Amino acid sequence: MKKWRLFTFTSMLPESNYLFVHTLLSWHHENDRQLPWKVSKDPYQIWLSEIILQQTRVAQGLPYYERFLQLFPTVFELAAADESDVFKAWEGLGYYSRARNLHHTAKEVADIYSGEFPKTYEGLLSLKGIGPYTAAAIASFAYELPRAVLDGNVFRVLSRVFGIEQAIDLPEGKKSFQKLAGSLLPSEHASQFNQAIMDFGALQCVPQNPNCPDCNMQSICMAYQTGRVKELPVKAKRLVKQSRYFHFFEVIDGGHVWIEKRIAKDIWQGLYQYPHIESTDPLPDAGSVLWTGINYQDIIPVFSTKQQLTHRTIYAAFYRLARTRLKEIPDSWIKVELSRLQEYPFPRIIHDYMNRKEWLLLFNSGEK
C-alpha cells in the first residue's frame, strides 16, 4: 500500500493540531487495516461498505460486503433486485431498515442519476439512508473532498485525546466535535486522515479496556493524563430498553409449513416469520391463544430464546401445532414447502430456532 510522507501535509496545520495529526498518522502508518473497500475509489462499493458497517463489526460485515458485490456487482443489479432477495442477502445483520434504504437508494441512483453517485457532499446527503457521516465518508474516500467523518470511533478518540466533556449525543456537542474534526483535517488528504482516525478508534482507542500502556498518544491524551479514560466520551441520554414477548406457532401441514410476512412498520418489516401473537409478559394466557381457533392445550412448547437489540430485548417462545387442530387459516398466512422454507428471509431469532437439531431433522425429513 502507498505510504504517504507525514510531514508534507501536516506541516500546514496550526501548531496546536499538528502533534495530534502527526502522531495519529504515524500510528496508522504501522497499523493500517487492510480491508477491500479501503483501496476502492468506487462510490458504490464505498457506500455499500458504509451501510453494512453501520451497527456492525467489521469481522461480521466483511462476508456480507463480499456477498453483496457477488450478487449485485453494480448499483444497477442492486436496483433491479427483488426486495426479498436483498433481505435474504442481508439476513442476519439486523436493522433491516438499512437494507430497505439501501435498495431504495440503489433505485434512485440508477434511475435518476444514471448509476452515478452525486459528487458533492450535499448531493450524497440528499439520498435516502445517507446521513452526515456516510455522506462525509463517501465524499472523502471516493472523491477526496475535505469532509471530516464523525462516527462512534471518532467521537471517542477526540473526546479522550482532547479531554472533551460535552455530550456526544446532544446537538451542541455534535457541533463542537464536528468543528474540531474539521480543524484537524488535512484538506488535500481527507481520506487518509479519516481512515486513520477511524482505525485508531477501532483498534487502539476501543470503548472498553483500551491499550493505553502501548499507545503513542499517551503524552498528548488528556483522558490518559487525568485518569478519565473510562469516563469519556460523555452521553447525556440513558438508553431505555423495552422488553417484547413473541409467541411463534410452527403449523405443520404434511410436508409444508405456514408462514406470514411482517408488513407493519415495526422491527423486521418485510421479513417472514411463523404466525405469532405478542403479549406483555413471558407466557401467553389461554385466552390469547384462542385467536387460532384452538385450545391452549393443543400447542406444544418446543423452544425459547432471546435476542438483544439496541433499544429492546426480544423474548421468543416457539410452539408446534398440527394443521388439523386449526378451524381456519387466516388469509395472511402463506403455505410453503419445507424444502423451500430457507429461501425466504427471516429474522435471526427465527434462525436460532431453525438451527436446532430437532428442527433440522424435521426439515430434512419433511415429516409431520
pLDDT at 294 over 50: yes
In a domain, 237, yes or no: no
What CATH number does residue 249 fall under? 3.90.79.10
What pLDDT was estimated at residue 193? 94
If asked whether residues 224 and 252 sit together in one domain, one would say: no
Last residue of a domain, one of 199, 231, 263: 231
CB 304 within 8 A of CB 317: yes
If asked whether residues 62 and 159 sit together in one domain, one would say: yes
pLDDT at 302 over 50: yes
At residue 137's C-alpha, the angle toward residues 310 and 150, to 5°, is 55
Catalytic residue among 30, 50, 328, 343: 50
Q: Is-catalytic flag, 231?
A: no
Last residue of a domain, one of 182, 210, 231: 231
**Closest Cα partner for 262 from 96, 24, 71?**
96
If asked whether residues 20 and 75 sit together in one domain, one would say: yes
- What number of CA atoms fall less than 13 Å from residue 119's CA on the CB side? 4
Last residue of a domain, one of 198, 231, 264: 231
If asked whether residues 208 and 249 sit together in one domain, one would say: no
In a domain, 318, yes or no: yes
Please report, as a single letter, which amino acid is at residue 153.
Answer: N
Read off the DSSP letter of residue 301: E
If asked whether residues 209 and 281 sit together in one domain, one would say: no
If asked whether residues 265 and 293 sit together in one domain, one would say: yes
If asked whether residues 227 and 257 sit together in one domain, one would say: no
In a domain, 1, yes or no: no
If asked whether residues 181 and 279 sit together in one domain, one would say: no
What is the pTM (predicted TM-score) of this model? 0.78
Query: 336 in helix, strand or coil?
Result: strand
The range of the structural domain enclosing residue 46 comes to 6-231
If asked whether residues 224 and 261 sit together in one domain, one would say: no
In a domain, 36, yes or no: yes
If asked whether residues 226 and 246 sit together in one domain, one would say: no
In a domain, 236, yes or no: no
What is the length of the chain? 368
**Contacts for 6 with CB less than 8 Å, ≥ 6 apart:** 22, 25, 26, 29
Confidence of residue 288 (pLDDT cuts 50, 70, 90): low
**pLDDT tens string 45-93:** 999 999 999 888 899 999 999 999 999 999 999 999 999 999 999 998 8
Q: What are phi and psi of 221, to 5 degrees?
A: -85, 115
Domain count, the chain: 2
Q: How far apart are CA 76 and CA 107, in angstroms?
A: 8
Per the structure block, which three cell numbers stand in for 348?
Answer: 435471526
What CATH number does residue 55 fall under? 1.10.340.30
Q: Indicate the average pLDDT of the chain.
A: 86
**Contacts for 354 with CB less than 8 Å, ≥ 6 apart:** 341, 342, 346, 360, 363
